Structure 1
Amino acid sequence: MTKKRSLGVEEEFLVVDLETRRLTPLAQAMLDRLPEEGFAAELQRSVVETNSTPLEDLADVRAEIVRLRQALVAAGEPLGVGVIASGTTPLAGVEGFTISPGERYQYLSDSYQFLAQEQLICGAQVHVEIDDRDVAVLAAQRVEPWLPVLLALSASSPYWQDADTGYASSRALAWQRWPTAGPVGPFKNAEEYDQTADDLVASGVIEDRGMVYFDIRLSAHVPTVELRVCDSCPLADDVVLLAGLFRALITRESEAVLNGEPPKGEERLALLRAANWRAARSGLEDDLLSPITSRPSSAPQVITWMLDDLRPALEEIGDWELVSELADEALRRGSSASRQRGALAQNGRPQDAVDLLLRETRMA
């Protein structure tokens, strides 16, 4: 059996008032009730982040995600606040748009103006262990055509400033406005990647390498490659599904690089951007673009084909049974975006969509 690469998960959560269901800038008050390890502030005072410890087994990853979420819930309840894991919120509120204190956050606000001031979006990031940076750069580019499918599975942000955007992931569109967001490469090796990162810093457009926001990027500090396209997911199982699929992709493509195998398809930037847009628009409820042919098919067809294609890697890692089961459940439920719209449609109350997100986020 192939050695399981360790995984780490970062999740961002929106902090909401349990009475009004609107955003509230009380993230720091929650953090004051939590240990420093595993929890952090974000750019907006109504957003809080969790960071899991690196783990190998997906069941352990899930347990860690649930543990961190339950700690957030416990810290928030005495303050009258809760957390929702979604890309955006059905109910915003003026108080939600408040920049956190600190030099870095002030720099972001001063430099990027409305991009930072409107950065009221939350994502789920997955880090996968990989020691060889040259292999990591090449594998990341081979994995990139598959990322829109992962975005579709995570889509949880249909609303922006109290209105339905018509998209399953409005967060994905908002995120792409940042100057270094988007596809990675093309790079031949880690040296080219690092030189580009250094050149971006030298340009003055970003302050440091931490602001290189490629859809999939190499860590500047630890030997990992990071998935950055996904919305925050209210259900912990969906985060585990994304982690398992991403690890399988990185594992397979890293081995293909080492074996000198050519990529399955030619990466074309325009089609990759189109696939990302399609995933943000559709979620799981409409067509996606095939990672290989760039032709439209229903989301269930694309995801089923992706699972079949990844099955040898998933079986070798030992994740096939769990990942395939979680994928089936995700397709049966539909996207979080669709579930939120359904909750709101019942009585026309956006509060009901927030309540759904609160329940799903705290589910064990």
Structure 2
Amino acid sequence: MTARIGVEEEFHVVEVESGLLVPRADAVLRELDSEVFTTELQQTIVETNSGVHGCLDDLYRDVVGTRRRLDAAAAGHGLAVAAAGTVPLGSTAAARNTGGHRYERMVEEYRKVADEQLICGAHVHVDVPDRDLAVRIMCEVSPWLHVLLALSASSPFWLGDDTGYASWRTMVWQRWPTAGPAGCFADAAAYDAAVRDLVGSGVISDPGMVYYDIRPSAHQETLELRICDSCPRAETVVLVAALFRALVADARHRLAGPGAHGCDGRHEWLRAAAWRAARSGLEGALVDPGTRREASAAQVVRALLERVRPQLRAAGDWQTVRALAEQALSEGTAACRMRRTAEEEGLRACTDLVVAETRGDRSGDRRPAASAPPAPPGG
């Protein structure tokens, strides 16, 4: 049976006229359903939660519909939303704590790390009801997660400057004490003991602050992917979700076989691979998980497709995922599109591009306006 998937997306709130990041999430959220739309640490960000779906087309329609509702609510206040790891015209002056005991404690404890949390990610949940199995799967799939980061890379700019990275969000995110590779655990009890130790150390205040690239959800029977940037195009969200679900299914199959679990305990290269993906996106080399050597992005992405082809076929996702992956390799990352637009037209036009792609507009008119959603990935 194909596992169900859902996504959480974070969006920057920007002013339509200036393109500047603004702390006005509350104004947007007052217009929306609190079960689907919610706050984050900073008032510059709105988070959305999709439904749970077995079919990629259903997930896509959900994501597009949610984005359109969010866009409409923002437009009523002269605002727009941008799905990207960072926005070109961000400023730390826009930082404003959402409030509440937990967030206020984080701001006090982590200071500039929290103040500069002006970044947005896309998280994917895949159903894994057996928590022991979910924890074992983490180690099995971790070598491939940097490839999903590369596909999602959408944050070349930070506070008005070109960073030289495809995902500067990754660099900002990794300043948190628990961000990065998860490591290996024999079962859920071992994982939970490690989390208790982290909380007991006083470095984090609760299990929700375990910010590993992948983790078992504390509240749902899912495995959660957390490494990716927010994606301007909804199709990229679907591509990442489908590949992650296929990796989880592949890991389940491998762990059920003879001599299962071939982890050698060598995890130091995972952080290096994530750095390489954040630096290059799809526009340079990546680390090949099979050889742990440098290889072209196209070679590594196609190796991932080949690895999970049986699972994609079983879910009915192969044609859609292959087409979306080849399109990504051909057109490049969102970071590449953003950088090209900024070079040709400036950072303001780059912001318009991200807002338009978030809304689903490919017409070339990048100013915020209503438009019909694109056709679903599968049809």
Tell me the TM-score range normalised by the shorter chain: over 0.9
**Aligned equivalent of 2:355, options 347, 353, 358:** 358
The aligned residue for residue 138 of structure 1 is 136
Deviation at 1:186, TM superposition (A): 2.1
The percent identity for this pair of structures is 48
* Matched-pair contact (CA < 8 Å) for 2:92–2:115: no
Structure 1 distance, partners of 2:24, 2:48, is: 15
The aligned residue for residue 49 of structure 1 is 47
Deviation at 1:310, TM superposition (A): 1.2
Q: Deviation digits for residues 83-137 of structure 1, max 9, x if unmatched?
A: 0000001101354211112111101101111110010000000000001111111
Find out whether 1:22 has 2:38 as its counterpart.
no
Structure 2 distance, partners of 1:273, 1:358, is: 31
Structure 1 distance, partners of 2:349, 2:87, is: 12
The aligned residue for residue 323 of structure 1 is 321
Deviation at 1:330, TM superposition (A): 1.2
The aligned residue for residue 365 of structure 2 is none
Q: TM-score, normalised by structure 2?
A: 0.93
* Matched-pair contact (CA < 8 Å) for 1:185–1:193: no
The aligned residue for residue 251 of structure 1 is 249
The aligned residue for residue 266 of structure 2 is 268
Q: Deviation digits for residues 38-91 of structure 1, max 9, x if unmatched?
A: 100111111000001111101000011011100110001110000000000110
- The letter of the residue matching 1:101 is G
Structure 1 distance, partners of 2:5, 2:93, is: 35
The aligned residue for residue 339 of structure 1 is 337
The aligned residue for residue 311 of structure 1 is 309
The DSSP-based 3-state class of the residue aligned with 1:99 is: coil
* Matched-pair contact (CA < 8 Å) for 1:153–1:284: yes
- The letter of the residue matching 1:141 is C
Structure 2 distance, partners of 1:292, 1:264, is: 13
- The letter of the residue matching 2:57 is A
Find out whether 1:240 has 2:262 as its counterpart.
no
The DSSP-based 3-state class of the residue aligned with 1:33 is: coil
Structure 2 distance, partners of 1:93, 1:262, is: 48
Q: TM-score, normalised by structure 1?
A: 0.97
The aligned residue for residue 210 of structure 2 is 212
Q: Pick closer, same or farther for the CA change 1:29–1:260 going to 2, 3 Å.
A: farther
Structure 2 distance, partners of 1:270, 1:197, is: 20
CA RMSD of aligned residues (A): 1.2
The aligned residue for residue 296 of structure 1 is 294
The DSSP-based 3-state class of the residue aligned with 2:74 is: helix
Gaps of 5+ in 1: none
Q: Deviation digits for residues 268-313 of structure 1, max 9, x if unmatched?
A: 2221111111000000000001011111111111101211121111
Find out whether 1:105 has 2:103 as its counterpart.
yes
* Matched-pair contact (CA < 8 Å) for 1:139–1:250: yes
* Matched-pair contact (CA < 8 Å) for 2:92–2:116: no
The aligned residue for residue 160 of structure 2 is 162
| 1:61-140 mapped onto 2 (5 Å cutoff) | 61-140=59-138
